[in-house]
Chains A and B, each alone.
Chain A
Amino acid sequence: MGKKTAAKINPYFYLVPSMLIFAVFLFYPFFKTIYLSLYKTNKMGEAKLFVGLENYKALLSSPSFHNSLKVTLIFVSVVVIGSMLLGLVAAVLCNKAFPGIRFFSTAYALPMAIASSSAAMIFQIMLHPAVGIVNKLLNLDINWLNDPKTALWCVAILTAWLNSGINFLYFSAGLGNIDETIYERASVDGASGIQQFFSLTLPGLSPIMFYTLVVNIIQAFQSFGQIKILTEGGPNESTNVIVYSIYRDAFFNYRFGSAAAQSVILFLIVMVITLIMFRMEKKGVKY
């Protein structure tokens, strides 16, 4: 082998370790899922009968899947808007130096470190119709998690809070990048705090805002643990988001083909949304 060819091939060897990891944990499951989605499987999850797009057709005409899509859409919207607002408000509040700032920043960032399952357990107790603090404080008598009208909101708000921790960090970093003196100039110029927020802070956060939005949407689509613990998709399928529906189809109904098809559809949805957002970013975020 000549020196030249060696020099050409050499770099690829350095890629091997990471490629190997990607292949085992990402590429193989990904293509296997697509493969499975075209088959009927046995209870062990082995592909047995090639059915082509039959799984997809069944899904798209199933009212249950339509419901899942709708629930997911509402869930993701509430989670993304809620978690970003929470993170943003907390970050703006903590952007000024005041006594006890460390305590508050830690408190606002903490949800990031809490496991979704333990948070769900705590919410379960808080939302308990008889002994829960929420009913006690609001002087209400609502069975939050067993009422189809409120269950989705409960899991969505919990998830929003869980995701707000990392958003707080993103936004704090973003706010730190905004030059302090432009606020001083704005206040001499005559802008009120609210005017400053909308004309300086929000545009100043726009680069990080985009990134945070993409991450939040993807994260919200993948929420699972808290739904599994709090509602298990119920009541009456009102919290049956796609990820939970996949889990149920695969591990309760043993319809791995259908579950795989749902995974592929979820993947397509997330990909399309992300692509649209990147397209919009090129036009929208100016800095």
Chain B
Amino acid sequence: MDLLTWTGSFGTILNPLAMAAVAVFFLAFLANFAFAIAGIRPGEVEVNADGTMVLHKTPSDFALSAMRYAVLLFLACCIGYVIGGIVMSDIEQKGILGAVGQRFVPVWIALIVTFVVSIMFKSRLGLYGKLFDSPIGMVGFGLVMFWVFTALFSSLVAPFDALDQISALRNDVPGTPTPDGEAYSHYLFGGDRLGRDVFSRMVLGSTYVLQIAPLATLFAFMVGITLGLPAGYFGGKLDTGLTFVANLVLAFPVILLFYLLVTPEIVTAGVPQYMSMVLFLFPIIFLTVLFNSRFHTQPQIRNVLVAITWVIGFTAYFSLISNADDPDGAIRFWPEAVDLFDIEGNLLIVFVSVVFVNSPTVFRIVRGITMDVKTRDYVSAATTRGEGPWYIMLWEILPNARGPLIVDFCLRIGYTTILLGTLGFFGLGLSPESPDWGSTINEGRRLLTIYPHPALPPALALMSLVLGLNLLADGLRDESLRD
């Protein structure tokens, strides 16, 4: 079998079209720029005396619509490649793009279903529904959901396992056919230094990022909220002390903190266990206080809710921090019978450091918002009603601070993704064989100028996910401001 071309048999029609679209876009962009300098502005709507409206089109308007159509044409070509890949039966005709598009079929279906359902019911979905009113938010949401679904269906999408090696295909270019009898006929994005499939590793790497980043961000928010609310609400010595500690952590350059924390020696010393002991306590405290402050006048409901929180929370907590199997583990008292899961020291330290780095920033944001919101009338009303301080913080201030917090949550997941990529880039934390994007970039960069293809897919994947999260946050900000 031959090397695959990028666009397959559809390319003969679609390639010139796509190229033309790009060329038109750039020409129109330059023309637009020239018009702007020459002082030709886009036409404005004029209202006539009889109530009709007239729009005089200027050359600038034509350049703008040319740009818009060029973008649409280009997108149509991209969709054409994917549909072509799904329709065509022979892989030589699909080309690399078509074959990749076909591997992602489960993701496309899930994306289309999500969008159709969401747009149908968007008026009933609150802030989430409003997202579908803003194009930026929709693009961001689409990018993020693409990677979420890729992570969910990664075993269907990826043709090979992350560690499968075909030594004949070391550093081979994209589209190289695999020997007979392998799981899939081609290495779509080529082979890496050890002859593993770059495409499969990129797809499987998404699971690492999408497991760690949102969860770590959530924990950072729990810590930041639990400490930031009282600091902002009570002020005084508590505030001074907590702010000092937060600034202390923030003054550490992130990379230095990682180098100090994420080393095998630190893991042997048990530091991740001790840190997780402190950090993972916060979600339990948060939920307990949350339920207690709301239902302390109805002890029965309160007791049930707090009991559920404690049973689930502490089982998970002790399962997480105690590791009976590990002879070097610092904390090993939790009986194996109720130890639900063990987390490898390396993964735990990555998780803990990411939470640790993010919490102070969340703390500062929550503290700032609390100081602002606590002067509002509804807070005084609650105080007059005789509500306790924790009720006011958690049930009056926090819900009213949700807009900026949700936006920051999205941005922070993106930032956490970048942090994870940085950790992997320096070979810290996860094992070097793991397919996560940071480690793969690190692996590929050694031979970058000669074999660029192994490092590029994970880099673009990381970029698109972070870009999607940033766009989503932007869309959410616009929509929540409009509330």
Interaction A to B: no
Residues of chain A touching chain B, judged by Cβ–Cβ distance below 8 Å, are: none
Instruction: Give me the interface of B with A, judged by CB distance under 8 Å.
Output: none
